Amino acid sequence: MADDPNLSSRRARFEALALPHLDAAFNLARWLARDSDDARDIVQEAFLRAFDAFDGLRGDNARPWLLAIVRNTCFTWLAHNREARGQVSYEESQHAQSDPAADPAWLALRADERQRVDAAIAHLPPEFREVVVLRELEDLSYKEIAGVLSIPVGTVMSRLARGRHLLARYLTADGGGEL
């Protein structure tokens, strides 16, 4: 029934708590799917799922909760709609990489910096990309990221370390790692 007061107040509460994080949801989906149209579909589905699961939200901080739903929806969606991607091993010693940042060339601000940085993020394997986006663009704490991804805080740290290292490498590589 359209005028069910419970549904109406539930919706009002959902709008107040979840809709403010629509940009964060879209940004995450867009970076994971690397396509705006796909991100739209994913986010819309995620919000409907979130509404159904709304009673599971504890407290008022809906952002990590919502982003976890977006992320899960995203991977389900991508698995159904796209070929599975290859996995990348992230067991490499920290010092094994070269030192890309030693080259001051990429320190210089350039007009195409945004394009190069975007390309580098898009090039990251998904498990690093999601950690990097949640940390650097959404400013989530390690603990919040651990909650979103259902992984230990220590793993958040190591993936973030590895992700940044890869980014640095893409950015120093000639052309900035296009893809």
Our CB check for another protein shows the closer of 88 and 137 to be 137
User: Which of 20/152 has CB closer to another protein?
Assistant: 20
Measuring CA to CA, which residue among 168, 166, 129 is closest to residue 149?
129
By CB under 8 A, name the binding residues for another protein.
Answer: 2-4, 7-8, 10-12, 14-16, 18-20, 22-23, 25-27, 30-31, 36, 39-40, 43-44, 47-48, 51, 93-95, 99-102, 106-107, 113-114, 116-118, 121, 132, 135-137, 139, 141-142, 157-158, 160-161, 164-165, 167-168, 171
Nearest to 132 by CA among 143, 141, 121, 123: 121
CB count, 10 Å around CB of 97?
13
Q: To the nearest whole angstrom, how small is the minimum distance from the Cβ of residue 75 to another protein?
A: 18
Query: CA separation (Å) from 59 to 46, 51, 54?
Result: 20, 15, 11
In degrees, rounded to 5, the angle at the alpha carbon of residue 41 between the alpha carbons of residues 46 and 114 is 100
Cβ closer to another protein: 13 or 68? 13
- CB nearer to another protein: pick between 84 and 96: 96
The distance of closest approach from Cβ of residue 38 to another protein in the complex, given in angstroms and rounded to an integer, is 12
To another protein, the closest distance from the beta carbon of 144 in angstroms equals 11
Whole-angstrom CA distances from 120 to 52, 124, 163, 168, 179 are 36, 7, 10, 9, 8
Q: How far is the CB of 78 from another protein (least distance, A)?
A: 17
DSSP secondary structure, 51-84, as one string: HHTGGG--SS-HHHHHHHHHHHHHHHHHHHHSPP
Smallest distance, another protein to C-beta of residue 134, A:
12
Q: Which C-beta is closer to another protein: that of 86 or that of 104?
A: 104
